[in-house]
A = this chain, B = another copy of it.
Amino acid sequence: MLISELSKRSGISIPTLRYYENFGLFKGYSDESVKTNNYKDYDESLLEKITLIKEAKTAGFTLSEIKKLLESWFDRRLSVEQKIDIVSIKIKEIEEKMRQLRTVKKLLADCIIDIRNGDC
């Protein structure tokens, strides 16, 4: 598919998709048989990858972190154990973030009690 379709189906603007591609998060390939243009074709499977990018971003990971994760995924030079290590570290980071969120949530819940009691 072309970039406009990718944009519509992923819900990410064309400039942002280009920024991501430029950043190295994924790559489109221009059809070699078509010589009149260099329009890039984006594979169907990219949508799944982009979903992960979006979710990892809302989870608070930076583009660099996401890039590293995606690279480890498809890097044939890494052993199974190495790949699992990289992903496991990210899972631990997510667990840490969830702990932080629970803490803040508790602080805010306590705050509501204080507000009701007129303590702030």
Q: Quick check: A112 and B88 within 8 Å, CB to CB? A: yes
Copies in the complex: 2
Residues on B with C-beta less than 8 A from A80 are 115-116, 118
Interface flag for A40 (CB, 8 Å): no
Q: Quick check: B95 and A108 within 8 Å, CB to CB? A: no
Q: Which has the most chain B C-beta neighbours within 10 Å: A52, A59, A74, A107?
A: A59
Expressed in whole angstroms, the Cα–Cα distance for A60 and B93 within the complex equals 13
Residues on B with C-beta less than 8 A from A104 are 52, 55-56, 59, 94
Interface flag for A30 (CB, 8 Å): no
Residues on B with C-beta less than 8 A from A120 are 73-74
- Could you tell me the distance in whole angstroms from the C-beta of A77 to the nearest C-beta in chain B? 14
